[in-house]
Amino acid sequence: MLSEKFIGMLNEQIRFEMESAHYYMAMAAYCDSENLTGFAHFLKVQAQEENFHAKKFYDFVNDVDGRVVMGKLNEPKNDYESLLEVFETALQHEKKVTKRIYDLMDVAQEEKAYPAMTILNWFIDEQVEEENSMDDIIIRIKRIGDNSHGLYMLDNELGQRVFTPPADEE
Ligand code: MG
């Protein structure tokens, strides 16, 4: 049985993942307002991933007989100066998520909560990918500079992103 403190932290993580989805939708809305529909699509798929993360934690809490409680979401940042600012904000956000996952792992280890370690290991790997993908886009946006053809190409590429939950889920 997991401690009440740990269940509380997992519930906070469910809230945070849902808030992440909310933040990414606000970023998508900015991109749509700039007619960057491929970037907007990419961020909407990212929001779907965050909802999936929230559900993964939700199912886990439920499976270990914890009580899932849905928390309040904060208002996201809606105004951005540039596409670069959007993705720099996204990367900073993902770094916060990673820190939270590590904190959860610290408590899982303290409490010898072995089943929690399995799911948290999955999230640790996932965060490496999340940070890497945001970082990669930042580098490419910087490289493109004010080359509108380059921007068009990247917008097109990101517009192809498809949400694919792992096969063993659902
Ligand atoms: Mg997430």
Has residue 170 got a pLDDT over 70?
A: no
Asked whether residue 168 is domain-assigned, the answer is: no
> Which of 67, 55, 60 lies closest to 8, judged by CA?
67
> Which of 69, 93, 74, 65 lies closest to 14, judged by CA?
69
CA–centroid distance, 101 to ligand 1, in Å, is 10
DSSP codes joined into one string, 52-106: HHHHHHHHHHHHTTPPP---PPPPPP---S-HHHHHHHHHHHHHHHHHHHHHHHH
CA–centroid distance, 35 to ligand 1, in Å, is 26
Has residue 169 got a pLDDT over 80?
A: no
Asked whether residue 169 is domain-assigned, the answer is: no
Instruction: Match 């670069």 to its residue by tokens.
Output: 84
CA distance 26 to 20: 10
Which pTM was predicted? 0.94
**Mean pLDDT on 8-28:** 98
Neighbours of ion ligand 1 (CB under 5 A): 17, 50, 53
Q: Please count the structural domains in the chain.
A: 1
**Mean pLDDT on 102-124:** 96
CA–centroid distance, 97 to ligand 1, in Å, is 7
CA–centroid distance, 169 to ligand 1, in Å, is 16
CA–centroid distance, 146 to ligand 1, in Å, is 31
Asked whether residue 134 is domain-assigned, the answer is: yes
Q: Find the CATH number of the domain harbouring 143.
A: 1.20.1260.10
The pLDDT mean for the chain works out to 95
Element (H, E) at 135: helix 114-144
